[in-house]
């Protein structure tokens, strides 16, 4: 696993969303570098907090756009957002309780979720908007 680069395959062509995804990648990459170097519990918690705060903001703007376009798969998409947020919250809690083994799980889960979600789910919405 490596740092995520914002490549063409991640572009939705909706400027607002692409810019926000870039910020999410930056936060993720910070988490990655931190995990590879000596770090304190606080530092990981800070990044996880940042990730959940920014994710909430980003999901809200995506959902607003979906409402605006009356996207038929809105509910489905919102549910996926919720499950991601719940998972990050669980990671935060477990981490606070000292479960260091979570490092790799947190990392793999976020990496897989983000990349798959953007490529298959967000892009599906973006394509829908361009057909309207």
Residues in binding contact with Fe ion, number by CB under 5 A? 2
Shortest distance, position 77 Cβ to Fe ion, whole Å: 6
The Cα 97–Cα 51 span in angstroms is: 19
CA–CA distances in Å: residue 67 to residues 31, 70, 72: 32, 5, 9
**Rounded to the nearest whole angstrom, what is the least distance from the CB of residue 106 to Fe ion in the complex?**
19
| Site for Fe ion, residues 8 to 67, rule: CB under 5 A | 62
Asked if 122 interacts with Fe ion (CB under 5 A), we say yes
Q: Residue 90: how many CB atoms within 10 A of its CB?
A: 13
Shorter beta-carbon distance to Fe ion: residue 92 or 123: 123
- Restricted to residues 88-107, the positions that interact with Fe ion (CB under 5 A) are none
User: Which tokens sit at 23?
Assistant: 């910020």
- Least spacing, CB of residue 131 vs Fe ion, in Å: 18
Q: How far apart are CB 36 and Fe ion at their closest, in Å?
A: 28
Q: Which of 3/60 has CB closer to Fe ion? A: 60
Look-up of token digits 């918690």: 45
Percent of the chain as helix, strand, coil, to the nearest 5:
80, 0, 20
Binding region for Fe ion (CB under 5 A): 62, 122
């Amino acid at each position: 696993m490596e740092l995520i680069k914002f490549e063409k395959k991640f572009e939705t062509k909706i400027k607002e969303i692409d810019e926000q995804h870039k910020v999410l990648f930056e936060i993720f990459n910070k988490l990655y570098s931190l995990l590879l170097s000596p770090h304190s519990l606080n530092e990981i918690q800070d990044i996880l907090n940042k990730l959940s705060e920014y994710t909430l903001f980003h999901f809200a703007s995506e959902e607003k756009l979906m409402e605006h376009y009356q996207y038929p798969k809105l509910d489905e998409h919102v549910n996926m957002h919720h499950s991601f947020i719940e998972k990050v919250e669980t990671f935060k809690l477990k981490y606070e309780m000292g479960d260091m083994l979570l490092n790799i799980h947190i990392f793999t889960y976020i990496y897989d979720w983000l990349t798959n979600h953007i490529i298959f789910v967000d892009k599906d919405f973006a394509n829908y908007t361009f057909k309207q």
